[in-house]
C-alpha cells in the first residue's frame, strides 16, 4: 500500500472522528438545553373553591426577560363539541419564576366539560401583554385533566420549595450607605472623604491609626464585626478600597475581590472603604 493511500486513510478517519464528536457534543448540549433550559409549567392544587387554575412557572428570566401577566387556556376539539374554547385571564405581572392562582371564570367549566375533551388538544399559554413573550405548553385533554386533578402541591409550597418568595428576596440586605465618611465641604478644598487615612480628619478616629502611623486623639468610634462583605457588579477599579484596607480588598485588572480569609473584625474600616467606593458596590452585613 502506498504512503499516500495510508495518509488519506488516516485523514478520513480523523475527519469521521471529528464529525462524530461534534454531533455527540451538539446532541449532548441540545438535550441539556431541552431538559434544563426550557420554561417548565407545573400544575398546582388550588387552595380556594371555584374555577381557579393554580400553576407554577419556572424559566430563566435573565436569559429570557419578560413581564408575564396573562394565562390563556385553549381547547382544540375537532371531533367533539364545542370544537374550540378559549379562556384568557390576566394576573399580577411576574418578572421571574412564580406560582399563582387565577380565577378562570365559567370558561374553565365549559372547557373541561367539552364533549370529546380527552381526545382534544389543550394549549396552555402564559404570556406577556407588554413584551409579546409567550410560553406555550401543548398536551392531550387526558393529560391536562390528570395534571389538574392529581396536583397536590399548593402555590405556597411551590414558592417555598423553589425559593421564589419575592418579598424575602427583595428585603434590603444592609442599611448603608449613608455616607458618613463624606465630610462637609472644607473651605477652599471642596468635599472630602472623612476617613482615618485623610490627615484632615485623623483626629476623629481614635480607634484607627492616623496618617503617619500614630494613634490620633479624639472621640472613640465604636467598632463592630462584619458577618459578610462582598462586591456587587460595577467596580471601576479605582483602588480606593484597597488603599484603605488591603487585608480585605484586592483590586484586580477588571474588578475588585474580597481576599480569602479576609479579617472581618474591623467593621469601621470596611464601612470606611464602602463609603469611599465611588460607585457604591461594596456591600456588607454587620455581625450579630
Ligand atoms: S472602591 Fe469600589 S470601585 Fe474602587 S476598586 Fe474598590 S470596589 Fe472597585
**pLDDT at site 189:** 56
Which pLDDT tens digit goes with each residue over 36-94? 468 999 999 987 777 889 999 999 888 888 889 999 999 999 999 999 999 999 888 88
Does residue 18 sit within a domain? no
Nearest atom of ligand 1 to the alpha carbon of 251: 5
Among protein residues, the one whose CA lies closest to atom 1 of ligand 1? 277
Shared domain check, 282 and 246: yes
Ligand 1 site residues, Cβ closer than 6 angstroms: 231, 235-241, 249, 251, 256, 277-279, 281-282
Shared domain check, 243 and 164: no
The CA distance from 240 to 246, in Å, is 10
**pLDDT at site 126:** 94
Does residue 195 sit within a domain? yes
Nearest atom of ligand 1 to the alpha carbon of 237: 5
Does residue 9 sit within a domain? no
Instruction: Please list, in sequence order, all residues whose beta carbon lies within 8 angstroms of the beta carbon of residue 8, skipping any fewer than 6 positions away.
Output: none
Shared domain check, 157 and 121: yes
Q: Considering only CA atoms, which of 84, 94, 102, 85 is closest in space to residue 43? A: 102
The CA distance from 45 to 67, in Å, is 24
Does residue 158 sit within a domain? yes
Shared domain check, 275 and 243: yes
Q: Would you say the C-alpha torsion 147, 151, 154, 159 has a positive or negative sign? A: negative
Shared domain check, 204 and 119: no
Whole-number Å distance, alpha carbon 237 to ligand 1 midpoint, is 5
Backbone φ and ψ for 13, nearest 5 degrees, come out as -60, -45
Domain of 61: which CATH number? Answer: 2.60.40
Nearest atom of ligand 1 to the alpha carbon of 249: 6
Whole-number Å distance, alpha carbon 172 to ligand 1 midpoint, is 21
Shared domain check, 193 and 148: no
Domain edge (last residue) among 169, 199, 224: 169
Domain of 250: which CATH number? Answer: 3.30.70.20
Does residue 15 sit within a domain? no
Does residue 80 sit within a domain? yes
Instruction: Please list, in sequence order, all residues whose beta carbon lies within 8 angstroms of the beta carbon of residue 64, skipping any fewer than 6 positions away.
Output: 39, 133
**pLDDT at site 3:** 65
Whole-number Å distance, alpha carbon 267 to ligand 1 midpoint, is 17
Shared domain check, 198 and 155: no
Question: Which residue, chain included where needed, has cell 464529525?
Answer: 19
Shared domain check, 161 and 49: yes
Domain edge (last residue) among 125, 144, 169: 169
Domain edge (last residue) among 146, 169, 192: 169
**pLDDT at site 65:** 87
Does residue 21 sit within a domain? no
Shared domain check, 186 and 154: no
Q: Considering only CA atoms, which of 12, 122, 116, 109 is closest in space to residue 52? A: 109
Domain that holds residue 133: 40-169
Shared domain check, 187 and 164: no
Tell me which residues of the chain have a pLDDT lower than 70: 1-5, 15, 17-37, 166-221
Shared domain check, 165 and 47: yes
Query: Cβ distance 191 to 252 under 8 Å?
Result: no
Whole-number Å distance, alpha carbon 78 to ligand 1 midpoint, is 64
Which pLDDT tens digit goes with each residue over 247-262? 999 999 889 999 999 9
Whole-number Å distance, alpha carbon 252 to ligand 1 midpoint, is 10
Provide the number of structural domains found in the chain.
Answer: 2
Shared domain check, 148 and 79: yes
Does residue 260 sit within a domain? yes
**pLDDT at site 98:** 92
**pLDDT at site 57:** 94
Instruction: Please list, in sequence order, all residues whose beta carbon lies within 8 angstroms of the beta carbon of residue 213, skipping any fewer than 6 positions away.
Output: none
Output DSSP code: residue 118. G
Amino acid at each position: 500500500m502506498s504512503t499516500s493511500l495510508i495518509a488519506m486513510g488516516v485523514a478520513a478517519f480523523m475527519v469521521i472522528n471529528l464529525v462524530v464528536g461534534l454531533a455527540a457534543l451538539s446532541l449532548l448540549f441540545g438535550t441539556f438545553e431541552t431538559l434544563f433550559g426550557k420554561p417548565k409549567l407545573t400544575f398546582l392544587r388550588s387552595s380556594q373553591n371555584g374555577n381557579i387554575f393554580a400553576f407554577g412557572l419556572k424559566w430563566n428570566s435573565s436569559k429570557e426577560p419578560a413581564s408575564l401577566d396573562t394565562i390563556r387556556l385553549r381547547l382544540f376539539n375537532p371531533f367533539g363539541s364545542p370544537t374550540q374554547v378559549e379562556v384568557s385571564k390576566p394576573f399580577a405581572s411576574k418578572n421571574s419564576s412564580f406560582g399563582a392562582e387565577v380565577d378562570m371564570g365559567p370558561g374553565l367549566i365549559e372547557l373541561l366539560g367539552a364533549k370529546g375533551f380527552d381526545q382534544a388538544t389543550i394549549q396552555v399559554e402564559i404570556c406577556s401583554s407588554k413584551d409579546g413573550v409567550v410560553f406555550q405548553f401543548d398536551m392531550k385533554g387526558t393529560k391536562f385533566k390528570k395534571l389538574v386533578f392529581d396536583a397536590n402541591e399548593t402555590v405556597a409550597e411551590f414558592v417555598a420549595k423553589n425559593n421564589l418568595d419575592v418579598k424575602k428576596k427583595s428585603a434590603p440586605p444592609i442599611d448603608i450607605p449613608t455616607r458618613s465618611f463624606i465630610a462637609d465641604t472644607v473651605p477652599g478644598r471642596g468635599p472630602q472623604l472623612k476617613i482615618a487615612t485623610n490627615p484632615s480628619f485623623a483626629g476623629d478616629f481614635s480607634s484607627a491609626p492616623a496618617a503617619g502611623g500614630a494613634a490620633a486623639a479624639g472621640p472613640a468610634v465604636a467598632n463592630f464585626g462584619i458577618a459578610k462583605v462582598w462586591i456587587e457588579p460595577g467596580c471601576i477599579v479605582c483602588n480606593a478600597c484597597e488603599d484603605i484596607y488591603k487585608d480585605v480588598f484586592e483590586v484586580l485588572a477588571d474588578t475588585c475581590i474580597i481576599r480569602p480569609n479576609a479579617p472581618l473584625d474591623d467593621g469601621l474600616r470596611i464601612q470606611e472603604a464602602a463609603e469611599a467606593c465611588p460607585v457604591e458596590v461594596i456591600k456588607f452585613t454587620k455581625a450579630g
